[in-house]
Structure 1
Amino acid sequence: MSVKPVNSATFKPAIREKGVTLAEFGAVWCPPCKTLLPILHDLADSYGESVSVLQVDCDESPDLAGEFGVMSMPTVIVFRDGEPVERLVGLRPRSLYEQIIERNMAVV
């Protein structure tokens, strides 16, 4: 599985009703977002079907960024069973994303 680009029309259907979804809010011109993208692809490959990883371009979907209060990029919002449960602002180490995924998978 890989990172799935989504927009205002495809975002909500792409969030898992059961399980864990990571949604990265960023932009193509954002250097930390570019650095984060390979980490997200690696996480998507590592977890396969267990976790959905979505990518939202805030320039293309400013309504989604507003709805979720995204003020800085990248922002990664973790959804569990369709509800936002955690938020990471800024570029973080891969290990932190893994910890959050594992923690939220354990609750499911």
Structure 2
Amino acid sequence: MSATLATMEPDDAADVDPDVAAALGADGLTYKVWGGDWCPDCTGQLPGFAAALEAAGVPADRVEQYPVEKVDGEKEGPGMDEYGVTRIPTVIVFADGEEVARFVESADTDIATYLARELGGD
């Protein structure tokens, strides 16, 4: 997929926990990321997540970005119906084609730490 999100530019100031990076960088994991460059939650959270992926050494071909637009007050974007995405940012982690973790909009911690915990890498 060639579409990209400006909010997925890594935050160079992000401090990434090595254990989190190790969990995110595990072999075989792929990521699908839905967000909107107009969305405050996305602009606040996705740069740090992108920095964590970079620290984990996750190659760009294992991260698919799905830009979401706001049309007449509704969020619209590729793959939203197929994957049941209603809020952004949403990040779904896959291993061998199966969903193994999902972050939706907000949690008690940042996206990378949350997903690492879900993947058993805490």
- TM-score (norm: length of structure 2): 0.58
Instruction: Kindly indicate whether residue 68 of structure 2 is the aligned counterpart of residue 53 of structure 1.
Output: no
CA 80–6 in structure 1, closer or farther in 2 if over 3 Å, else same: farther
Give the secondary structure class of the aligned counterpart of 2:56.
Answer: helix
CA 86–98 in structure 1, closer or farther in 2 if over 3 Å, else same: closer
- TM-score (norm: length of structure 1): 0.65
Question: Which residue matches 1:27?
Answer: 36
The offset of 1:67, in angstroms, is: 0.9
Tell me: higher relative CO, structure 1 or 2? Use CA pairs within 8 A at least 6 residues apart.
1
Separation (CA, whole Å) in 2 of partners of 1:91 and 1:5: 26
| Match for residue 82 of structure 1 among 73, 97, 112 | 97
Alignment: residue pair count: 90
Runs (5+) with no aligned partner, structure 1: 8-17
CA RMSD of aligned residues (A): 3.0
Runs (5+) with no aligned partner, structure 2: 5-26, 70-75
Structure with bigger gyration radius: 2
Give the secondary structure class of the aligned counterpart of 2:57.
Answer: helix
